[in-house]
Amino acid sequence: MVRRRSRSRDWGPPAPPVWPGGGGGRRRSSSGGGAGCSELPRLPLNMAAAAEAAAAAPAGGGGGCSPAAAGGGGGSVPVLFCFSVFARPSSVPHGSGYELLIQKFLSLYGDQIDMHRKFVVQLFAEEWSQYIDLPKGFLVSERCKVRLVPLQIQMTTLGNLTPSSTVFFCCDMQERFRPAIKYFGDIISVGQRLLQGARLLGIPVIVTEQYPKGLGSTVQEIDLTGAKLVLPKTKFSMVLPEVEAALAEIPGVRSVVLFGVETHVCIQQTALELIGRGLEVHIVADATSSRSMMDRMFALERLARTGIIVTTSEAILLQLVADKEHPKFKEIQNLIKASAPESGLLSKV
C-alpha cells in the first residue's frame, strides 16, 4: 500500500492529470498541499530519456510534496504497474512519489502510451475494493498496485484561424513531381497565392523538400522569400525534429495550414502526426494533389473523418483577415480577385 493518513480522515485532493510528453518545467500548484509543493512537470517526449530519468531518479522522489514523515526504511518496494490490458510487476525505491511512478510507466509502456494525451495515476485501495485517484504527496511504502488511465476528453474542432496562432506548411512542391502529379500547375498557382498571403499577414512558413538530391528543389514559381525553414527530408511526414523545434520557437501556435504533395502520402502522414500533437490542421484542397485522383479522394475523405478540416485557399485567406477593416484586407482581396483554377480537382474532393 501507499502511505496515507488514517482511514477516518479525508484522502485529500488527487494528483492532477499529467501529460507524459511535452516540454516545460515545474509549474507551481494553484491549489493547497503545503508550502513548496509544485505540480508534476511535463515529462520528456523522448522515451529513452524518460527511461534514463526513471533509472537515475533518487529515492523519495516526492520532493517538496512529500509528507513530513515518510517512515519505513530503504530498499525497493514491489509494485504492479497496469496500463490498458497489461499488468507488469516491477519495483521502485521505498518512498517513491508520483513523478517517479509516471517515469516508471514510461519506461515500461513507452511504446504504447500516446504521449500527447492527459493521464491520471490511480491506486488500488483494498478498503474500497477498487481503484481511486492517487492523492498528491503520497509515497510508496508497501507492496501496491497502480494503473495509468487516459482521460477520455472529446475536443470539438472549430476551425477558427488567426494569423498569430497559425503556421503554413508547404510540402514537397518539387520540380520532378511536375509531370507526375495531376493538375500540378493549378496547385502551384494556388500555393503561391497562399505564400503571398502568409507574407502579407506575417504568418511563418515551413517548407520541406523530399530527397531533393533526386527529386529537385521547390519549383521556381513558388517564392520562398521569408520562409522560416526550408528543410530537406527523406521521411514522408514533415514532422521532423527541426520542424518541431521551429514550432516551439513560435509562441501560441494552434493551427497548421497544410498544402502540397502527395495528398495520400506526405500530406496525410503530416496531418495525422500534427493532430496527434494537439494541433488543428487545415488542408487546402485546391493546393494539394496526387498522381492518382483515387488516392487523393480517399485520403481527403479519411482525413476529414479524423477531424482535419478540408477547405480552400480563398476560405483560408479570408478567415485570416476576418474583417474588411483589416489593414491587409485590400491586398488579400487583390490576391483572390481571380478565382482559384477550377480544374479536375473540384470533382475529386
Give the catalytic positions in this structure. 172, 233, 266
3-state SS, one letter per residue, for the chain: CECCCCCCCCCCCECCCECCCCCCCCCECCCCCCCCCECCCCCCCCHHHHHHHHHHCCCCCCHHHCCCCCCCCCCEEEEEEEECCEEEEEEEECCCCHHHHHHHHHHHHCCCCCCCCCEEEEEEECCCCEEEECECCCCECCCEEEEEEECCCCCCCCCCCCHHHEEEEEECCEHHHCCCCCCHHHHHHHHHHHHHHHHHHCCCEEEEEECHHHHCCECCCCCCCCCCEEEEECCCCCCCHHHHHHHHCCCCCCEEEEEEECHHHHHHHHHHHHHHCCCEEEEEEEEEECCCHHHHHHHHHHHHHCCCEEECHHHHHHHHHCCCCCCCHHHHHHHHCCCCCCCCCHHHC
Q: Which amino acid is at 262?
A: E
d(CA 71, CA 221): 71
Q: Which residue has the cell 472549430?
A: 158
